[in-house]
C-alpha cells in the first residue's frame, strides 16, 4: 500500500470518528450554560464619572492698588466670614480722612455761630491761616508730582528698553519682570499723589470759601447757613469716598471655609483686582455628574445616587439628585467623539465624603427600580425580528419563546410577560442551537 493511500485512509477514519462523536452529542444534548428564572430587586441606572466641588467658593482680590502685607494663611487654613486675609498700607488715605473730618467739624462750628453774631477777629485770622496752609500743602504736593511724573517716564523708558533687550536675549525674564514691577509701582505712586492733590485742592476751595464767608458775613443768616450746609454736604460726600477707600485697605474673607489655593505670599505691591486666595465652604460640598443628553430624560430631582470608587474602598456613599442644569453643552470624549451632555448636581452629606473639591468617583443615578421582579440574565436574551426572545429548557429540549421586558440593568432584564419563576433558560445561546434541540448543562 502506498503512502498516499495510507494518509487517505487515516483521514477517512478521523472524519468517521468525528461524525460519530457529533452524533452521540446530538443524542446526548448540546452542552449549554443554563440559569433558573428568579425573583429579585433590579435597578436601572445612569452611570458616569462624578467629581466633588463646593457650591460656595470665592476668589478674594484686592480692590485698590497698594503695598500688601505678608499673608500668613496656608492652603487648608480655616477662616470665618469677615476674617482678615490681608492688609494694605493705609497711612496716606487715613491722613486724608482725618483732614476731611476736621474740615467738616470746622464748617459745622461756623454754621452754629451764624446766629450768634459776626465772626471774631481771631476767627478771621484762623480762616486766613487755614487758606495759607492749604495752599502751601497744595504747592508742595504739586512739586512732588513733577518728580513722580519724571519717575514714571524713566520707569516706562526702562521697561520699553528691557522689553527690547529681552526679545534679543540680552536680559533674563526676571530682569524684565523687575522692570515691569518698577513701572507699575511708579504709576501707582503717581495715582496716589494725584488723589492727594485732589484732596488738597478741595481743602483750598473749602478754606477760600470759609475765608470769604467770614469776611463777607451778612445779616442774612439763612443764606449763610445754607452756604455752610452745602459745603458740609460736599465734604461729607468726598469723605464717604475716602472712608470707602480706607475700608478696602483691609481685605476680609467674604465667606467662611478653608483656603483652597493661595496665589501670593504678600509683601509686594499689587494692582487692584489681583487675586490673593481662593476660599471654599466644605458645608456646601456637592457632586457634579455630566451625563449624556440621551439619558437626561430619565433623570429626575430626588432620585437616589450611589457613589463608589477607590477613594471609598468598598463603601458606597448615597446621595440624591439635587438639580439638573437647563442647558446642555458639547464635550469631546477621549476618543475624539463629540458628545452632547448636561450637568446633574448631586447632594450628599459632607461627612460621608471627607474630601475637598475635584475628587473623582463612580456615580450611578437610579432612574428606575423594582423590588420584586422576575429576572432573566441579560446574556440569555436575544432579538429576533424585533422581538426579544429566550430559549426555555423543558424536558431537556430548548424551545424559543418571546418575552416582554421592562427595565434593565447591566446584568438582567425585568420580565413582564413570557417567563415565570423557576423556569430554566439558556444563557449565551450558541449560534448552532435550534428550536427543539436537546441540551445538557455545560460542565
pLDDT of residue 313: 87
Q: How far apart are CA 282 and CA 195, in angstroms?
A: 42
pLDDT of residue 70: 87
- Pairwise CA distance, residues 44 & 410, whole Å: 8
User: Distance between CA atoms of 329 and 340, rounded to whole angstroms?
Assistant: 6
| pLDDT given for residue 155 in this prediction | 86
Close Cβ partners of 111 (under 8 Å, ≥ 6 residues apart): 224, 225, 228, 229, 232
| DSSP track, 115-132 | TT-SPPHHHHHHHHHHHH
Q: What are phi and psi of 405, to 5 degrees?
A: -110, 160
Mean pLDDT of each 10-residue bin along the chain, 443 residues long: 55 51 58 95 94 91 80 91 82 57 70 62 80 88 88 89 83 80 83 83 84 65 66 67 64 91 88 88 92 92 93 90 93 89 91 86 94 95 94 96 94 95 95 94 87
Give one DSSP letter per residue of 233-273, joined into a string. Answer: HHHHHHHHHHHHHHHTTEEE-SS-EEEEEE----SEEE-TT
Backbone angles phi, psi at 282, to 5 degrees: -60, -25
47 phi, psi to nearest 5 deg: -115, 130
Domains observed in the chain: 29-40+371-441 (2.40.420.20), 46-55+284-369 (2.40.30.170), 58-82+252-280 (2.40.50.100), 89-247 (1.10.287)
The Cα–Cα gap between 415 and 422 comes to 13
Strands 84-87 and 38-54 come out as unpaired
Q: Give the separation between CA 326 and CA 303, rounded to whole angstroms.
A: 17
pLDDT at 113: 64
DSSP secondary structure letter of residue 44: E
| pLDDT value, residue 219 | 44
Amino acid at each position: 500500500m502506498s503512502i498516499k493511500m495510507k494518509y487517505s485512509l487515516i483521514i477517512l477514519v478521523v472524519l468517521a470518528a468525528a461524525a460519530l462523536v457529533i452524533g452521540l452529542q446530538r443524542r446526548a444534548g448540546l452542552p449549554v450554560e443554563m440559569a433558573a428564572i428568579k425573583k429579585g430587586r433590579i435597578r436601572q441606572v445612569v452611570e458616569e464619572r462624578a467629581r466633588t466641588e463646593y457650591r460656595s467658593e470665592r476668589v478674594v482680590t484686592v480692590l485698590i492698588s497698594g503695598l500688601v502685607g505678608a499673608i500668613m494663611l496656608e492652603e487648608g487654613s480655616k477662616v470665618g466670614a469677615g476674617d482678615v486675609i490681608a492688609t494694605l498700607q493705609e497711612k496716606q488715605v487715613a491722613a486724608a480722612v482725618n483732614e476731611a473730618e476736621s474740615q467738616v467739624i470746622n464748617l459745622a462750628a461756623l454754621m452754629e455761630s451764624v446766629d450768634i453774631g459776626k465772626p471774631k477777629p481771631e476767627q478771621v485770622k484762623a480762616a486766613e491761616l487755614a487758606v495759607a496752609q492749604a495752599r502751601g500743602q497744595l504747592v508742595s504736593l504739586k512739586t512732588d508730582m513733577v518728580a513722580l511724573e519724571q519717575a514714571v517716564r524713566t520707569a516706562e523708558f526702562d521697561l520699553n528698553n528691557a522689553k527690547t533687550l529681552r526679545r534679543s536675549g540680552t536680559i533674563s525674564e526676571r530682569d524684565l519682570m523687575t522692570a515691569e514691577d518698577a513701572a507699575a509701582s511708579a504709576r501707582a505712586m503717581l495715582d496716589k499723589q494725584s488723589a492727594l492733590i485732589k484732596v488738597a485742592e478741595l481743602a483750598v476751595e473749602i478754606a477760600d470759601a470759609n475765608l470769604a464767608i467770614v469776611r463777607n458775613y451778612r445779616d442774612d443768616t439763612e443764606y449763610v447757613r445754607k452756604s455752610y450746609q452745602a459745603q458740609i454736604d460736599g465734604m461729607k460726600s468726598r469723605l464717604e469716598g475716602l472712608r470707602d477707600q480706607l475700608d478696602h485697605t483691609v481685605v476680609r474673607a467674604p465667606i467662611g471655609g478653608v483656603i483652597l489655593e493661595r496665589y501670593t505670599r504678600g509683601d509686594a505691591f499689587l494692582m487692584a483686582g489681583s487675586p490673593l486666595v481662593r476660599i471654599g465652604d466644605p458645608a456646601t460640598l456637592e457632586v457634579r455628574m455630566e451625563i449624556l443628553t440621551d439619558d437626561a430624560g430619565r433623570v429626575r430631582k430626588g432620585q437616589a445616587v450611589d457613589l463608589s470608587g477607590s477613594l471609598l474602598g468598598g463603601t458606597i456613599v448615597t446621595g440624591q439628585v439635587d438639580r439638573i442644569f437647563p442647558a446642555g453643552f458639547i464635550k469631546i470624549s477621549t476618543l475624539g467623539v463629540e458628545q452632547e451632555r448636561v450637568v446633574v448636581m448631586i447632594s450628599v452629606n459632607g461627612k460621608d465624603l471627607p474630601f475637598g473639591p475635584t475628587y473623582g468617583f463612580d456615580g450611578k443615578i437610579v432612574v428606575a427600580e423594582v423590588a420584586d421582579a422576575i429576572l432573566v440574565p441579560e446574556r440569555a436574551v436575544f432579538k429576533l425580528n424585533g422581538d426579544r426572545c429566550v430559549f426555555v429548557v423543558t424536558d431537556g429540549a430548548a424551545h424559543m419563546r418571546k418575552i416582554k421586558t421592562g427595565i434593565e440593568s447591566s446584568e438582567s432584564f425585568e420580565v413582564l410577560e413570557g417567563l415565570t419563576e423557576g423556569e430554566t433558560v439558556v444563557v449565551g445561546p450558541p449560534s448552532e442551537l435550534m428550536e427543539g434541540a436537546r441540551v445538557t448543562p455545560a460542565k
